[in-house]
Amino acid sequence: MLDPVARVRRFNRAVTSAVGALDTSFLGRGRPLGAARVLNAIGHGRSDVAEIRDYLGLDSGLMSRLLRSLEDEGLIETAAREDDARRRMAKLTRAGRREFAAYEALSNAQADGILAQHSQAEVLLAAMDLVASALTRERVALDEMDPRSEQARYCLGEYYAELGRRFKHGFDVSLSRDPDANDMRRPRGSFIVAISDTLPIGCVGLKGTDHGYAEIKRLWVAPGARGLRLGRRLMDAAESTARELGITLLRLDTNSALPEAGQLYRSTGWREIPRFNDDPYPDLFFEKRL
């Protein structure tokens, strides 16, 4: 009754029928699912025909016909790309935007419906985040981006909030040595965000200094993405970026209130060293030679 595999399969059955219900509601708009999917891909900002085909896994002949049918309905327009006339771009017409909005409304209504039946929506959402991260584990992209970008700032905000929860006396950003964003941009450093299907679920900063080493800062993994060894992947990415930048020595500080972090560092070749700064929060210091 409690076999793990049976529980996963019960989950599969539950979501299969939920997904099927959404597909059925899509069919209610009188268009085959294939055409609806292409329309939605375009509505969500994909315009390059080859990219859509790849994303949806369609044959080029089939894709071409689906585009034609959407064009005949007056929902999209296609044009050759300016930089390469072999490739085509597709975009929604006014009618297409209306139709796309109708599909969006169906999707949103379904999502809303699931949430509305639940008196603890945040618990349900956290569980969904966790499952979604687990299922898309191998599709998590590690993207280098500006530490001031929206997604980076979101990660940092979550990171600070978590420190506030886990440190006995809270955490005040202004007391910490908040690294200058410029130190986490090439060529001095870098900032890497893990993105799972548009949602940022982790980050790490590589901060350049003038003291002959660089620092690893702001390693964070979203609660729903823990257990997927994402921290290790982020650290690997930061280290290889450091090597690219010609950095040979890395340091970092952390706090014993975050035991999983310390364990990660110890198991990946970092060795503990004496305090090397006067930041009030950390009480553990590590170094790794590349």
Partner DNA sequence: CATGATATCTGACTTTAGTCAGAGATCGTG
Partner DNA sequence: CACGATCTCTGACTAAAGTCAGATATCATG
**Interface residues toward a second copy, by CB under 8 A:** 1-2, 4-19, 22, 107-108, 110-112, 114-115, 117-121, 123-137, 150-151, 154, 196-200, 226-229
Q: Identify whether the C-beta of residue 92 lies closer than 8 Å to the C-beta of residue 100.
A: yes
Binding of residue 91 to DNA (CB under 7 A): no
The backbone region for 227, taken as left when phi is positive above 0, alpha when psi lies in -120 to 50, beta otherwise, is left
Question: Of the two residues 12 and 240, which places its CB atom closer to a second copy in the complex?
Answer: 12
- Find how far residue 104's CA is from the centre of its chain: 21
Distances in Å between the Cα of 74 and the Cα atoms of 77, 99, 252 are 8, 10, 57
CB of 52 to DNA, least distance (A): 8
Where does 23-140 show beta strands of DSSP type E?
Answer: 76-80, 88-92
Question: Of the two residues 10 and 186, which places its CB atom closer to a second copy in the complex?
Answer: 10
Q: Which of residues 33-52 bind DNA (CB under 7 A)?
A: 33-35, 48-50
Binder of DNA out of 6, 7, 15, 32 (CB under 7 A) = 32
Contacted by 173, from a second copy, DNA, none: CB < 5 to 8 Å by type: none
Distances in Å between the Cα of 281 and the Cα atoms of 13, 167, 222, 223 are 47, 9, 21, 21
Binding of residue 80 to DNA (CB under 7 A): yes
Part of the chain binding DNA (CB under 7 A), chosen from 83-91, 117-125, 164-172, 243-251:
83-91
Binder of DNA out of 40, 42, 43, 67 (CB under 7 A) = 67
CA distance 216 to 219: 8
Torsion sign across C-alpha atoms 159, 187, 150, 41: negative
Q: In what order do the strands lie in the sheet with 214-221?
A: 141-144, 190-196, 199-208, 214-221, 249-254, 284-289, 271-272
CB of 260 to a second copy, least distance (A): 11
Question: Of the two residues 121 and 175, which places its CB atom closer to a second copy in the complex?
Answer: 121
CB of 115 to a second copy, least distance (A): 6
Residues that bind DNA (CB under 7 A): 32-35, 48-50, 53, 58-65, 67-68, 78, 80, 84-88
